[in-house]
Amino acid sequence: MNDHYQRLEQIYLQAPYNRLLYDDTTIKISTGRAEISTRVSPRHHHGGGALHGSGYFRLLDDAAFFAVNSTITDAMVYTVSFTTQFLKPVQSGIITAIGEIKHSSSNLFIGESSLFNDKGQLIALGRGDFMKSRIDLKTIPGYLY
């Protein structure tokens, strides 16, 4: 399974969207869990000077997504729905999303995630429903390296 986790990590790190938006991003995947950290800078801010909500959503969804996909070795999953609760603004520093799988069945998976600032304070929560796609993991750039 370690190869599977490392390959999923490569998919994440090599994705064009992730490389475009954030520097200093790390991801660590294990069974049913994913942890993603990145640095917030002014280029991620909304007009009020704090991280835009899309940044919160992205990290929460990605952490829950990869926690779920850690348990599936033949296909990518996809997000069916995702809810986000914003608890505290963040302007700078390293933020870390921790995702965990909470439920799995033959066709539905539920993942939850928490987002923390660099002081360890909870700043957002997320919960999503995921389903297994028909996209073979071996066809995703980065999975086979």
Write the pLDDT tens digit of every residue in 109-119: 999 999 999 99
Helix (H, G, I), strand (E, B) or coil at 5: helix
Higher pLDDT among residues 79 and 43, named by residue: 79
pLDDT at residue 45 tops 90: no
Write the pLDDT tens digit of every residue in 82-124: 999 999 999 999 999 999 999 999 989 999 999 999 999 999 9
Q: Is residue 44 part of a domain?
A: yes
Please, are residues 99 and 66 in contact by the beta-carbon 8 Å criterion? yes
Give the containing element (helix H, strand E) for 60.
helix 53-69
What is the token pair recorded at 90?
């963040």
What is the token pair recorded at 44?
């991620």
Q: Is residue 101 part of a domain?
A: yes
Task: Tell me the sheet residues that pair with 26.
Answer: 37
Distance CA 13, CA 84 (A): 23
What is the total residue count of the chain? 145
Q: Is residue 85 part of a domain?
A: yes
Rounded mean pLDDT of the chain? 93
Q: Is residue 145 part of a domain?
A: no
Number of domains composing the chain: 1
| Single-letter amino acid, residue 72 | I
Q: What percent of the chain has pLDDT over 70?
A: 99
Q: Is residue 9 part of a domain?
A: yes
Q: Is residue 52 part of a domain?
A: yes
Q: What is the pLDDT of residue 22?
A: 67
Q: Is residue 123 part of a domain?
A: yes
Would you give the DSSP letter of residue 137?
A: G
Give the domain CATH number at 92: 3.10.129.10
Residue 130: give the domain boundaries.
2-139
Q: Is the pTM of this model over 0.75?
A: yes
The residues, ordered by sequence, that sit 6+ positions from 129 with a Cβ below 8 Å of its Cβ are 79, 80, 81, 82, 108, 109, 110
Write the pLDDT tens digit of every residue in 12-39: 998 888 777 767 899 999 999 999 999 9
The number of helices, as runs of H, and strands, as runs of E, in the chain is: 3, 6
Confidence of residue 145 (pLDDT cuts 50, 70, 90): low
Q: Is residue 144 part of a domain?
A: no
